[in-house]
Amino acid sequence: MSHDLSRRTVLGGAGAVVVTSALAPVAKAAEARLDRDTDFGTGWRFALANPDGVTDPGGRFADAAKPKFDDSTWQVVDVPHDWSIELPPVEKGTFSGSGFFRGGLGWYRKTFVVPPEAAGKRVSVEFDGVYSDAHVHLNGELLGHHPYAYTGFAFDLTGRLHTDGRTPNVLAVRAVNPLPSSRWYSGSGIFRRVRLVVTEPVHIARHGTFVTTPGIAAGRGTVRVATDVVNDSRAPVTAVVRTTVSDSAGRVKAKGATTVTIAPGRTATAVTTQTVPDPQRWSPGTPTLYRVRTEVAGCDTATTDFGFRHFTFHPDNGFSLNGVPTKLRGVNLHASQGALGAVIDPAALEHQLRLMLAMGVNALRTAHNPPDPQLVTLCDRLGILLMVEAFDCWRTGKLEFDYHRDFDEWSGRDIAEMVHAAKNSPSVVLWSIGNEVPDASMAGGPAIAAALIKTVRDIDPTRPVIMGSDRYRSVPAPGSPQDLILRQLDGLGVNYNTAQSLDGLHAAYPDKFFFESESSSETSTRGVYQDPDLLNTGENHVPGKRAASSYDNNLASWTFSGEYSLKKDRDRKFCQGQFLWAGQDYLGEPTPYDAFPVKTSFFGAVDSAGLPKDAFHLFRSQWTTAPMVHLAPMDWTGHAPGEPVAVWVYSTVDTVELVLNGRSLGTKTFDRKATVDGRAYLETSEPTGDDKNDPSGSYTSPNGGTGKLHLSWTVPFERGTLTAIARADGREVARDELVTAGPPSAVTLSAAPRGEGAMAFVTASVVDAQGVVVPGAELALRFTVGGPGRLAGVDNGRQESAQGYQQPTVATFRGQAVAIVAATGGRGPITVTASAPGLTSGSTTVPGTNLGQRNGPGARAVELPEVPVVLAANASYAGAPDTLPAAMLDGNPATGWSNFYLKPATATLPAVSRPRPADWVSLVWPTPQRFGEIVANFVLDATLVLPDTVAVFYRGTQGSAPVSNLKISWGTGSNDPTTFSFDPVTATEVFVSMTTRGFLRISGLLAR
């Protein structure tokens, strides 16, 4: 059941142009014909009035809504459009939640003419979303405003338009994004589609068709179609409403008809019921769609897609779809597309969703707002279940300028719009009234929840109403706001609950169903690894090295490892499933770092460029059944000879052999186990130490088992080939291979298949002479595009980067980067080339498409090279944000560098603070310096010690080398410094490398 009316029926002629933009030659009125629905995305002009505030400095745009205002110098843009992503990230005036992108005040204007045939018609303009507080004007007259960015809205233009085919009309939209308005990157502007809708006075209402399938019996399916028909004429009308049901091949399966009488100025509902023989069920595996064509005879026609399916959320037995028990294997995704910002392109959405499907995903939560209608359509087509969510806050806000300011006046209308827009979608199975809302634990919360729940159920009584919350980590007290709200809901999504708290809620509320609306939130950086023997690691805060370990072992205080979350959900039949936070890294919320230029989150199973991390393969190993095996780390190059490397293997197969350079390192197997209700799974059998709440100290399944979801080896590094071979019944069924890379030699390109839209994704890899990706390569690539296309954006997945996205150059990260290429219209091939100094360039082609836009993302890109970070001091590791290397140079003995860290306890793990065995600090100069002595002021106390050993290296014109004749004079602390003297050297950087059994702190470091 699709969310959306297809309004493509032509009124007054077949296939045509509704309006003619005043930016192009005006068509003769007699040649223009009126479509019911016309895309209104091209030919807009845009001005960013103020990127740093929502006021109009100097009043330059005071008359921007008036028809005669001169917009000739404004930028020509196509919408959807996001002005924030076109700006470079900056630290001043922004904050990390927005990804350090600016918002401000923007104006859009579209000039168009309407032919005389529109006289007597009903004309409206429909927006799918504007960020935010859209004020819409026509010919200088304010039509109205719409505050919420994520719900659609429409304004009636009838009687206000010039319809002589000559006089221009001007549609003007004012949008603002006051910072902070969102906890994550939101984008700014008309970031979703716009349409012009032309109908007869008697017509189908906006969102006026509701298709349900109340009976799906063996061999037949009942289709009920309720159609709201509007009579905007001056006389009563008796209308015949006909409905035709067709399958995906267009074959008619059933028909119905009824008559309805409508008073002038009123709306009446026509209901038809028909039976479809042998209906094919919609499901994630077989997303079969049907279509209803609704005709108000002689007046209006619309089509609506829907699907036959039935589902149950049972408090004890879990979720079932079409009678088949099914766990929700879900992800959370914010409404942004990496380098495209908040611009919605269907091909970009499909690319993202297919990545999720490859991980085994069958469900998506629209965190934390109503989705773009195109996302719902794609989920219908691809077979992805949807939890559609309304708000991130209610009356009590989380930020100064978030939705709380408009909640009381607008929430009823906005949540109704959310339901109406997606009510026909077979993918939608849950309506969520909010996420982690503070009001859930306040006295007024139950009344707010009751009003929202009633609004949803009045429109759609066929789906459960729930919310996602972090305020149920223990069983609520009877009569508390949390208790009163939960008793009104059909079920509850919990965010970051322990296994024990989930069991407690299930026991206390046996008539409610529970699932994890946010699970894990483990943080990681693609290709970065640290402390595999620790369940939680301390982060590195050195500028340029801010990254999180991919061994599933970097957790914030409220989060859990991916393995713990998978086991917790797996073992509980009553748990309907989980939604991983998050499917993909997104702009903003850069946990665990709140520092410029860290501008994206670390939570994703894939990075912001769409390149999978190890977490992708962990979840894939549990959520898919086809044979697969994956090696972590994804780097068999950046290690020292003989260095012990922790090798983890994820697999859907129980037996894996590890081979290094043709030599077997042994075969290991998962044990075959079963949940208490008989579902089979693979797991090792060993203490995991991952749950301090369990008497054993390890997460223990209800069947008494404990273990890991990966196999592990410790391998002394040697160059060559490391291979994991998965075998079933003695036969190889999957393998993964890592090869030591040589020096960079070339750039290779590969393009992912493009869906229906303008965007194609091209991955560039820096490879050696044998074609092996060089994981340490961080080389600047330049992309060029030829043919009917342009570069829309670039990304490398690195969370810490001061560079903007919409420009032709980007440095590779872990050897790779991604270019997003937009078609500009035309069927010829689009050629993409990537080059880097000293390397063989790479090229590939993608097909052109007439769906392209000439003035979409990247069309106005200006190359702004990333400002290099100028270091005066550096270090391998800093344990806290206030102990950066530069603090050794400020002359203040109270500040300094340190490798000390204290990782706070989580709900399942104790706090950890363990000295690293070795670290280094350095001094850096832009020009060579000559010196023969380093003076270090070590701070000593009960925790901080002197190093056990020290080595000094320097970098000069001939590379790096150890100093000669090193002599150490140990001091006793800050007031008695330690001196390292050696034969004088000339260098641009000098390193002091230290081993230790305790933590180190240096308050001052000087070369002389």
Q: Is 518 one of the annotated active-site residues of the chain?
A: yes
Residues in the chain: 1008
The values of phi and psi at residue 790, to 5°, are -150, 165
Full strand arrangement of the beta sheet holding 711-716: 629-632, 644-651, 711-716
Alpha helices in 460-551 (DSSP H): 481-488, 499-508
Scored b (16 or more CB within 10 A) or e, 458-492 reads ebbebbbbbbbbbbbbebbeeebbbbbbbeebbbb
Cβ neighbors of 487 (< 8 A, separation 6 or more) are 509
Cβ neighbors of 556 (< 8 A, separation 6 or more) are 521, 523, 591, 592, 906
For 777, other C-beta atoms within 10 Å of its C-beta total 24
Three-class DSSP category at 787: coil
Q: Rounded to whole angstroms, how far apart are CA atoms 230 and 882?
A: 64
H or E segment at 199? strand 194-199
Scored b (16 or more CB within 10 A) or e, 814-834 reads bbbbbbbbbbbeeeeebebbb
Whether 593 contacts 542, CB under 8 Å: no
Q: Rounded to whole angstroms, how far apart are CA atoms 772 and 524?
A: 23
Q: Rounded to whole angstroms, how far apart are CA atoms 586 and 777?
A: 24
Q: For residue 388, what are the CA distances in angstroms to 371, 383, 582?
A: 7, 15, 16
Q: Rounded to whole angstroms, how far apart are CA atoms 824 and 847?
A: 11
Give the E-state strand segments of 670-800 in sequence order: 671-674, 680-683, 711-716, 721-728, 731-739, 746-751, 759-767, 780-786, 789-795
Three-class DSSP category at 262: strand
Q: Which of 295, 417, 518, 683 is catalytic?
A: 518
Helix, strand and coil content of the chain, in percent to the nearest 5, comes to 10, 40, 50
H or E segment at 210? strand 202-217
Q: Rounded to whole angstroms, how far apart are CA atoms 464 and 87?
A: 41
For 590, other C-beta atoms within 10 Å of its C-beta total 27
What is the token pair recorded at 325? 């028990």
Q: For residue 161, what are the CA distances in angstroms to 28, 65, 113, 146, 197?
A: 17, 15, 9, 21, 13
70 burial level (CB within 10 Å; 0-12, 13-18, 19+): exposed
Q: What is the DSSP string of 529-551?
A: ---TT-SS-PPP-STT-----SS
- Amino acid letter, residue 941: D
Q: Rounded to whole angstroms, how far apart are CA atoms 384 and 329?
A: 10
Whether 108 contacts 79, CB under 8 Å: yes
Q: Rounded to whole angstroms, how far apart are CA atoms 710 and 688?
A: 11
Q: In this structure, what is the dihedral angle of CA atoms 669, 675, 678, 684, given to the nearest 10 degrees?
A: 0
For 321, other C-beta atoms within 10 Å of its C-beta total 20
Q: Which of 521, 597, 607, 599 is nearest to 559 (CA)?
A: 521
Query: Is-cis flag, bond preceding 712, omega within 30?
Result: no
Three-class DSSP category at 351: helix
Q: Is 866 one of the annotated active-site residues of the chain?
A: no
Three-class DSSP category at 713: strand
Q: Which of 436, 516, 657, 683 is catalytic?
A: 436
Q: Which residues are catalytic?
A: 436, 518
